[in-house]
Structure 1
Amino acid sequence: MVGRLVSSPRGATYYWIEKNADAQAPWIIFTHGLCANHRLFDKQLPFFRLNYHVLLWDLPMHGRSRPYHAFTYAHAAEELKQITDREHIKQAILVGHGIGGYVCQEFASRWPEMVQAFVGVSAMPFGVALYPEFDQKELKKVPQTVKRLPERMLQTGLARKRTQTLYGYQNALHMFEQMSKKEMVQAFAAAYGDRFTHKAVVQFRCPVMLAIGAMDYTGKIAEYCRIWSEKQGYPMTVIPDASHNANTDNADVFNDTVSKFLRRSLRKNKA
C-alpha cells in the first residue's frame, strides 16, 4: 500500500491506498474504532482490493496520526474530506467500526453526494435522538472508568472485551499497546466528549447496512444497533462467532456479507 498524509493546524493524518487495476472500480474507505488503527482491517484488505480501490487511515489521535489537537468528529470528517480531495475521490463506500461509524455519519451529513453506501460495524447512531437521558449520562462516565485502570489492564481488558478469537485478540492488543494509558484516556475523553454533537439522527441518502457480532456485549452497542435498524429501516446482519471486532473475529463471513450487500447496492444505483 502507498502511505501518505494530510496536514491541518491540528496535526497530521496518515492514510494508505491500494488502487485496483480497473480505474473505474469503486472506492471503499475503512474507518477504525476507538484506540485502534488501520490494522483493524488487515483481513479486509486482501479481499476487497480485488474489486475496489481501498483506502485505510488512522483517525486523528490514533495510530500514526498522533499527536493531534482538538479532536471532534467534525474535525475528523474534515481530515477525511481533505484526503478524498487529494486523491480525487468523488464518491466512496464508507465502512465505519465503532466511533469510526460516527465519523462516517458526520461525513455523510456534510457531503451526502459523496457516499455511495455505508456499512456500520458495531456502530451506534450519532446524535441524541435515540438515547434516553439516563444512557447519555452513563456514556459520558466511560472516560472516568477508563482512567482508573492500570495501563496493562486497560490494554488487555479492552482486547478481551472486544474480541472472541485468538487472532482478534492479538490484533486488538497489538493496536492498543501502541498507545500509552495517557493517550488512551485522552482518546476516550475526546470521543465521548463529542459523542452527542448532533441532535437528530443522520439521514443517509444511500444504501445502509449495519453489522454486529453475535457475541458483542460491549455496553449497549448491540441494543442500539437494533434500535437504529428498527427506527430507520436499515438491514442489520449478525455475524456469528464474533464479538465487537466482528470483522477480525469472523472475517470470512463479514467480508462475504458486506461484499454481497455492496454488489446489490451498487447494481441498484446503476439501474
Structure 2
Amino acid sequence: MQEKIYPTPCGEIHYWVSRAQDPETAALVFLPGLTADHRLFDKQIAYFEGKYNVLVWDAPGHGASWPFRLDFTLMDKAKWLDGILCREALCRPVIVGQSMGGYVGQAYAELFPRKLKGFVAIDSAPLQRKYVTGIELWLLKRMEPVYRHYPWKSLLKTGSKGVAASAYGQALMHEMMMAYDGDQERYARLSGHGFRILAQAMEAGLPYELQCPALLICGEKDRAGSCIRYNKAWHKSTGIPLVWLPGAGHNANTDAPDKVNALIGKFVEGL
C-alpha cells in the first residue's frame, strides 16, 4: 500500500492505495468509522490487496489526517473522496463503509449516483430522516460535552470493549483510541463534530437512495446506539440484503474478518 496525501482547504487527507495487476479490476474503497483509522480494515486489506484495486483513508481529522479544521460537512467528505478517486483514476468504486464510513458512502451515492458500482455497509445505518427519532437527532448534536467530561479511562474501556466482541477487535480499537491519550479534548471535538454533521445530513431530508447493488452486514452483538434496529428497518424498507454475523459486535469486520471478507468477495464477484 502506497501512502498519499490529498490537500483540502481544511487540511491534508492521508490515504493508502494499491493496484491490482489488471487495472480494469474492481476498486474497493474502505471507509473506517468515527474515531477509528485505516487500521480498522487491516484484515480486509491483507485479503484483497493484489486481487482488486484497494484504497483506504484516514478520514479527515483522524489518524494521519490531523491536524484538520473541523468545520466541514458530510457532503464535503464525500466530495473530497471523489477528488481522491478521480486523482487515482478509480472509476466505478465499490465503497465498503463501517459505521460513519457507511454514512459517507451514502452521501457519495447522493452526490455521484452514477459513479458507484456497489455499496457495502458494515454496522452502519441509513441516512434518511425517517429512520431516526427527534430525540436521537437532538442527542447527536449534543455529544461533544459528554465525551469531554467522561472519565478517560472509562471511555477508553467502553470505547474499545463496547464496539468489538473479539480480543483482536478490542485490542485494535484500544490501540486506535490511544492516539487521543492525553488529548481527550481532541477526541471529544472529533466525536462531537462527527455526530453533528451526521445529524445535519439527516435533517437535510435528501433521498439518499442507493442506485447500485448493495449489501448490509451487521454483528448480532452490535450495541452501538440503535444499529440493529436501524438495519432491520433499512432492510425491511428497501429490500437490500442483510447478513447477520453471530458473535460479532459493531466492528464486525474485526470480529469476523474471514466471514466479512467472504461476503465482500462474493458481492463484488456478482457485480
Q: TM over 0.5, yes or no?
A: yes
Code of the residue aligned with 2:101 in structure 1: it is G
Partner of 1:269: none
Partner of 2:239: 233
Counterpart CA distance in 1 for 2:50 and 2:90 is: 18
TM-score (norm 1): 0.94
Counterpart CA distance in 2 for 1:138 and 1:201 is: 23
Partner of 2:42: 42
Q: 224, 228, 239: which is aligned to 1:222?
A: 228
Q: 180, 185, 189: which is aligned to 2:188?
A: 185
Code of the residue aligned with 1:157 in structure 2: it is T
Query: The residue matched to 2:35 in structure 1 has which SS?
Result: coil
* Cα pair 2:123 2:251 within 8 Å, conserved: yes
Give deviations 1:29-85, integer Å, cap 9, x for gaps: 000001000000000012112421100101001011111111321111121111112
Seen in structure 2, the aligned counterparts of structure 1 residues 201 and 156 have a Cα distance that, compared at 3 Å, is: farther
1:8 Cα deviation from its structure 2 partner: 1.3
* Structure 2 residue 68 is matched with structure 1 residue 62: no
1:205 Cα deviation from its structure 2 partner: 0.8
- Indicate the RMSD between aligned Cα atoms, in angstroms: 1.3
Partner of 1:194: 197
TM-score (norm 2): 0.94
1:201 Cα deviation from its structure 2 partner: 4.0
Counterpart CA distance in 2 for 1:100 and 1:32 is: 5
Partner of 2:260: 254
Counterpart CA distance in 2 for 1:71 and 1:154 is: 26
Counterpart CA distance in 2 for 1:215 and 1:77 is: 29
1:138-217 equivalent positions in 2, closer than 5 A = 138-179=139-180, 180-196=183-199, 197=201, 198-217=204-223
Partner of 2:88: 87
* Cα pair 2:29 2:54 within 8 Å, conserved: yes
* Aligned positions, number: 265
Query: The residue matched to 1:163 in structure 2 has which SS?
Result: coil
4+ aligned runs moved over 4 Å, structure 1:
none
Query: The residue matched to 1:190 in structure 2 has which SS?
Result: helix
1:91 Cα deviation from its structure 2 partner: 1.3
Partner of 2:18: 18
Deviates more, 1:254-263 or 1:165-174: 254-263
* Cα pair 1:130 1:201 within 8 Å, conserved: no
Partner of 1:76: 77
Counterpart CA distance in 2 for 1:143 and 1:231 is: 32
* Cα pair 1:35 1:62 within 8 Å, conserved: yes
Partner of 1:53: 53
* Cα pair 2:18 2:50 within 8 Å, conserved: no
Identity %: 29
Code of the residue aligned with 1:31 in structure 2: it is L
Give deviations 1:86-132, integer Å, cap 9, x for gaps: 11122100001111111111111111111100001110111422222
1:146 Cα deviation from its structure 2 partner: 1.9
Give deviations 1:141-181, integer Å, cap 9, x for gaps: 43332222122322221001001111001111111111231
Code of the residue aligned with 1:189 in structure 2: it is G
* Cα pair 2:142 2:192 within 8 Å, conserved: no
Counterpart CA distance in 1 for 2:207 and 2:112 is: 16
Query: The residue matched to 1:211 in structure 2 has which SS?
Result: strand
Counterpart CA distance in 2 for 1:255 and 1:9 is: 35
Query: The residue matched to 1:23 in structure 2 has which SS?
Result: coil
Counterpart CA distance in 2 for 1:172 and 1:109 is: 30
